[in-house]
Amino acid sequence: MAAITTKAIVFSAIKYGDTSLIVKCFTLEEGVKTYMIKGVLKAKKGKLKAAYFQPLTQLLLTANHNNKGTLNSIREAQVSYLYETIHTSVIKQTIVLFIAEILSSIIQEEEKNESLFNYIETSLIWLDTHNSIANFHLLFLLNLSRYLGFYPDTSNQHGTAFNLLEGNFTLSTHEKSTVIGENFLLFKRLLGTNFDAIHTISFNKTERQIVLKIIIQYFELHLEGFKKPKSLDVLETVFS
């Protein structure tokens, strides 16, 4: 079994027994992989530390990938980008847990997806190095839809509503799953924005919740089996 060295982003870590973790990572080279890391919770020494496997930690792994649907193992790991503010900010920490939960539920493929990996990686570094981050999760999810193949079609600029099912602007405002009126205008403000312009969008608490609910509904309609994240309530509490 040949070892592979790859960048990886931790999606989740579940305790297994008293001392071990089952860790799900999104790797640059081979997509989603799940690892059994034995004894890591009691190890004082050793190459692997439990702290490496916090949600969305960026790692450089040397791992054995057996590709038989069984758990893989990690030989070595080191943090490839050390967050400076994410672990000290309650708001950033909450955003990270929320995003990790969503990514873990929707990204399942065991195949390389370099552009998606790079998007997640650079977005997290942006989050770590900026302060105006109240709308980060909204833009992160909306732009994530581009890599999942259902980013809104904004070509019909005259549309006065947004059809969540079709993913486009429309003039018919009475159909089911259509965002209209004030909510449509709020949602539209986010479209076409990048992270560096995010501070120009000022949503209040209520507006932010409205836009997030629209995006979650959009994901539910376009991703089979997508469930509303459990961490949504925590996120709303932190921003209230």
CATH for 14 = 2.40.50.140
Confidence (pLDDT) at 196: 92
Confidence (pLDDT) at 69: 64
Domain check: are 118 and 234 in the same one?
yes
Distances (CA, A) of 183 to 80, 172, 197, 207: 40, 15, 21, 8
Where residue 113 sits, what CATH number does that domain have?
1.20.1440.120
Strands 178-179, 161-163: pairing kind: antiparallel
- Domain coverage including residue 169: 90-238
3-state secondary structure of 63: strand
Task: Report how far residue 31's alpha carbon sits from residue 116's, in angstroms, rounded to the nearest whole number.
Answer: 10
Domain check: are 22 and 76 in the same one?
yes
Domain check: are 129 and 186 in the same one?
yes
Confidence (pLDDT) at 167: 95
Domain check: are 102 and 200 in the same one?
yes
Residue type for position 6: T
Kindly state the tokens that stand for 56: 């969305």
Domain's final residue, options 81, 98, 116:
81
List per-residue pLDDT tens for the chain, 240 residues long: 679 999 999 999 999 999 999 999 999 999 999 999 998 998 777 789 999 999 999 999 999 988 676 789 999 999 999 999 999 999 999 999 999 999 999 998 889 999 999 999 999 999 999 999 999 999 999 999 999 999 999 888 789 999 999 999 999 888 889 999 999 999 999 988 889 999 899 899 999 999 999 999 999 999 998 988 999 999 988 887
Confidence (pLDDT) at 1: 64
CB 3 within 8 A of CB 29: no
Domain check: are 223 and 121 in the same one?
yes
Task: State residue 148 phi and psi, 5-degree precision.
Answer: -100, -5
Task: State residue 231 phi and psi, 5-degree precision.
Answer: -80, 0
Domain's final residue, options 81, 111, 128:
81
Domain check: are 52 and 110 in the same one?
no
DSSP one-letter string for 93-161: HHHHHHHHHHHHHH----S--HHHHHHHHHHHHHHHH-S--TTHHHHHHHHHHHHHT---B---TT-SE
Domain check: are 142 and 224 in the same one?
yes
Domain's final residue, options 56, 81, 106:
81
Kindly state the tokens that stand for 192: 């076409």
Task: Report how far residue 61's alpha carbon sits from residue 67's, in angstroms, rounded to the nearest whole number.
Answer: 16
Task: State residue 221 phi and psi, 5-degree precision.
Answer: -75, -25
Domain check: are 175 and 228 in the same one?
yes
Nearest to residue 130, comparing CAs of 82, 81, 193, 196? 196
Distances (CA, A) of 148 to 103, 168, 172, 193, 223: 11, 16, 26, 18, 9
